[in-house]
Structure 1
Amino acid sequence: MSELTHASRRERLVIVCPGRGTYNQAEWGTLTRHAAGSAWLSRFDALRREQGQPTLSELDGETPFRMSLHGRGDHASPLIYACALADVLAIDPARYEICAVTGNSMGWYIALAVGGALPKDAAFTLINTMGHLMQTTLNGGQVIYPWVDDQWRPQPERRRELLALIETLHGQDGSELYLSIDLGGMLVFGGNEAGLKRLIEELPPLERFPLRLHQHAAFHTPLQEGVKAEARTRLPATSFGAPRLPLIDGRGKLWTPWSTDPEALWDYTLGEQLVTPYDFTTALNVSVREFAPDRIVIPGPGSTLGGAVAQALIQLGWQGLDSKAAFQAMQQSEPRLISMGIEEQRRWLVDEE
């Protein structure tokens, strides 16, 4: 009875896995600090060597950081996966219960591993392969732009205007332009060079926006049809299984341990997910509403996804949040959104012994 009582006091966590762009200069060395000597990292390094690629340990610990190298999809994607995995494995299970897992864009692949739908090594092969395919084709690109105000409060009219730009510009003089990711208080646009150029010309400058994302292809748009076809031939469905934990995908669909068809999960992951918009905001909303977590946790590396998550939580009114100031006040008193890429927040979850 005492064990049951103790277990019932564990805090409930929703894990939100990060996507591309979260491993930068400041994150170099993170993997070495948190996972050096682990058996799973040794296996990942061996798989990289077999492919003639630099190992993750070399990239993170020996090769000086260069965005032109470390930011490549075939290097950044597995580095981000390994850093996130190290963080999740470090969460103290005596104090915390992971009740559901979701992710942003490439973070969906990480979620498959964290949720148990793919073994660690199979998830690595998926992520390494997709990073390679995206890098070698690098078809199109992405631009990010906010639709909330400086207090992260929703501005629906601005959102409607931004979405209308897609309809206006797509098809003009060879322009291709699509919604790529609905990312909290921001929209990520994907398109070809002509489409992105026209978009940037139309968007009013706002601090650092519009922001062109470095070495990103037009993820989650029809421009990835070729990558989709190649991925489905290289990555069979046999590695997929039912998850151990509930997963929420880029449409807000819930995949449960007791009802998941593994082949359907593979078909979504290497099908619709690649060529249609990824609705991260809806995925997060479903996660919070369905599982009522005590805290939301973003594994590392980095903490860049924290703003988008906070913006989505403000839209939802989670914990009474209605502005950036309210979110910051909550975080100062007791962080309910924990970015494990921030060491002082990571310590909330990790048993330091």
Structure 2
Amino acid sequence: MTRTAVLICPGRGTYNKTELGYLNRYHADKAELLTGFDQLRGLAGQDSVTEIDSAAKFSMAKYSRGDVASPLIYASAVADAQSLADDIEVVAVTGNSMGWYIALAVAGALSLNDGFHVVNTMGTLMQQHLIGGQLVYPIVDENWLPQPQMKNELLALIARINRENGRTLLLSIDLGGMLVLAGNEAGLQGFEQSVPVLQERFPMRLPNHAAFHTHLQNPVAELGRQLLPESMFGQPNVALIDGRGHTWWPGACNTQALWDYTLGQQVVQPYNFTLAVRAAAQEFAPDLFIVTGPGTTLGGAVAQSLVLGGWQNMVSKNDFKSGQAEKPMLISMGDPEQRNWVTS
């Protein structure tokens, strides 16, 4: 019996210390795929993906860099997508932030090598320029109940700080129960000084992250458009859901518009991951939501997005946990046990 699934691809921040060796651990059988990626890295004068993955020691300073994290996450996610069991039918693909580039390749709108080239190029450009930074802050309580007044107050605070002389602060990603904010140092500090510390760790800075999905990335977007031609983009094989909740349908895509969105609006305007997950649920009603590796951190944002959208009448964390225990709906391939539920 076929299981339908929406495949969700992760973005930056998902390859951490526990993920070191992910490719060797799960994908030693995919030498041809990884060799192609390694050759592309070699042409760019960069260490190979398999070499970075097989290092003896993890360093956050190194592995959080865009030119290191991005290709590792791409290779891990694409290889995971190729490992799904035969009874799983992927009906749509989406992703968070950089995960949009991975989704394009998984869905067939980019070849796997072209997708790697896009990810490696954009990750390298981001690192070379490293304009601004990011932080995260929660907008739900510990049972994932929405706090609309709190969210509205935070958005008003962000707008107020952004109007102050010398400060830039903007919404970067609507990420389930979190807001990811981006801006310059003065803007980020202004927010940190204006909000209470929650759960003893928020607001939390994201190391080696630039001000993604804001106008501060205009120079990077322009360079990306110069280096990555429209001719790389083709029709997807399955539906793609972008950071606006918009669906790109197979056989009906304007590939010029897809290129333009990917290296334009997607880079310099806010990314609404919450809406993308909600749109996937409502449009495709899959049996499963499968988050590829590496890591498992995106699973929480997917679950929160489903709860916030009222999927299957869920309104809280407890509802989700009860439903997940009765009949798992969310699978993180970075979790060894859950991985076995969806791989051959």
Shorter-chain TM-score range:
over 0.9
Task: Give the equivalent residue in structure 1 for 2:187.
Answer: 195
2:168 to 176, 191, 204: 176
Paired residues, number? 342
Distance (whole Å) between structure 1 residues aligned to residue 59 and residue 326 of structure 2: 37
Equivalent positions of 1:1-353 (< 5 A) are: 9-38=1-30, 39-93=32-86, 95-207=87-199, 208-351=201-344
Distance (whole Å) between structure 1 residues aligned to residue 17 and residue 322 of structure 2: 29
SS in 2 for 1:250: coil
Give the partner amino acid of 2:143: Q
Identity of aligned residues (%): 53
Give the partner amino acid of 2:313: G
Q: CA RMSD in A?
A: 1.0
Report how far residue 122 of structure 1 moved. Answer: 0.1
Name which of structure 1's ranges 46-55 and 175-184 shifts more when overlaid on structure 2.
46-55
Give the partner amino acid of 1:235: L
SS in 2 for 1:170: helix
Greater than 3 Å deviation, 4+ residue runs: none
Is the Cα contact below 8 Å between 1:251 and 1:279 reproduced in 2? yes
SS in 2 for 1:347: helix
Name which of structure 1's ranges 83-92 and 218-227 shifts more when overlaid on structure 2.
83-92
Report how far residue 318 of structure 1 moved. Answer: 1.3
Give the partner amino acid of 2:178: M
Report how far residue 62 of structure 1 moved. Answer: 2.7
Report how far residue 118 of structure 1 moved. Answer: 0.2
Point out where structure 2 has 5 or more consecutive residues left out of the alignment. Answer: none
SS in 2 for 1:22: coil
Distance (whole Å) between structure 2 residues aligned to residue 112 and residue 272 of structure 1: 15
Give the partner amino acid of 1:229: E
Point out where structure 1 has 5 or more consecutive residues left out of the alignment. Answer: 1-8
SS in 2 for 1:271: helix
Distance (whole Å) between structure 2 residues aligned to residue 214 and residue 313 of structure 1: 28
Is the Cα contact below 8 Å between 1:143 and 1:210 reproduced in 2? yes
Report how far residue 203 of structure 1 moved. Answer: 1.4
Task: Give the equivalent residue in structure 2 for 1:4.
Answer: none
Report how far residue 163 of structure 1 moved. Answer: 0.5
Distance (whole Å) between structure 1 residues aligned to residue 40 and residue 231 of structure 2: 19
SS in 1 for 2:165: helix
Q: For residues 229-262 of structure 1, what are the alpha-carbon distances to aligned partners after superposition, in whole Å with 9 as ceiling and x for unaligned?
A: 1111000011100100000000111101121011
Distance (whole Å) between structure 1 residues aligned to residue 197 and residue 124 of structure 2: 33
SS in 1 for 2:170: strand
Report how far residue 329 of structure 1 moved. Answer: 2.2
SS in 2 for 1:258: coil
Report how far residue 37 of structure 1 moved. Answer: 4.6
Give the partner amino acid of 2:78: L
